[in-house]
Amino acid sequence: MEKKNFGKRFEGKVAIVTASTQGIGFAIARRLGDEGAFVVISSRKQKNVDEAVEKLKAQGIQVFGVVCHVANAEKRKNLIQKTVQKYGKIDVVVSNAAVNPSTESILETQESVLDKLWEVNVKACILLLKDAAPHMQKGSSVVLISSITGYNPYPSLAMYGVTKTALLGLTKALAAEMAPDTRVNCIAPGFVPTHFADFITRNEAIRKSFEETTLLKRLGTTEDVASATAFLASDDASYVTGETLVVAGGIPSRL
C-alpha cells in the first residue's frame, strides 16, 4: 500500500490495539503508528504477531507485539503489564477482538457457542479495560469496535450482531464511568472484506448484493475504519464521548 503522509496526532502516545495482526485491527494499528503512536499489537499466535511487527517496522512504525488471547485472564494482564513495563503508560485502547463461530439462528445456537460469543465479544472487552484503566492518562481514549449488525442483526450473523449491540450500550455506560479523564467511543463498521468476513468476497453475486445495500455502492475498506478510529481516539474528538460512529457507506442504521 502507498505510504501516505498523515499528521502526528499521536506523537508520544501509547496505543494498544487488540486482534491487530490482520484486517481492521492491523489497519488501525498502522494508522495510529503512522501518526506517531507507540503501537502495541496483539493476537493469539506468535507467528502472526511476529509477521505483523515486521511489516509495521518496515514502514517506520514504532511497534511492540504481545501474544494475547483476550478471553484468557492471564494473557490480558500480561498484555497490559508488558505495555506499562515498556512505555510506562497507556493513552489509547482499541478493543477490536471478536469471534463469530456460528451462522446458526439464535434459538439453534449451542450454549457453548453463546458463551464464547459473549466471552470474547463483550466480557473480554470489559475485563481488558478493567486491567488497563489504572494506567490510563488524563485525556486518554477508548474505542470499541462494534458493527453495523449491532443495529440490524444480519440473519446469518444474528447472535454476533446482538453481542455488537451490547457494545453500543457498553460505550454509553463506560463513557459515564470513565469520565472525565478518559473518553469512550465506538465504531460500527459496515461490511469490509477481510479474512474474518471472507463470506462477502467468496462469491461475486454476494459481494454485489452487499455493495448495493450501501449508498456509495462499494464495500468499506480497512483504511476507512482506521481513519474513523484515529479521529475518535485523537484530540480532534476531545469533546466527543459515549458516541458510536457508523462507518458503513450509508447502510441504514438509525434515524
Active-site residues: which are they? 160
Query: Which of these, 186, 176, 184, 182, lies nearest to 253 by C-alpha position?
Result: 186
Q: Which amino acid is at 5?
A: N
Which residues, 6+ apart, have CB-to-CB distance to 208 below 8 Å?
Answer: none
Interatomic CA distance for residues 49 and 53, integer angstroms: 6
Q: What 3-state DSSP class applies to 23? A: helix
Q: How far apart are CA 7 and CA 186, in angstroms?
A: 22
- DSSP code per residue over 29-80: HHHHHHTT-EEEEEES-HHHHHHHHHHHHHTT--EEEEE--TT-HHHHHHHH
Residue 100 identity (one-letter amino acid): N
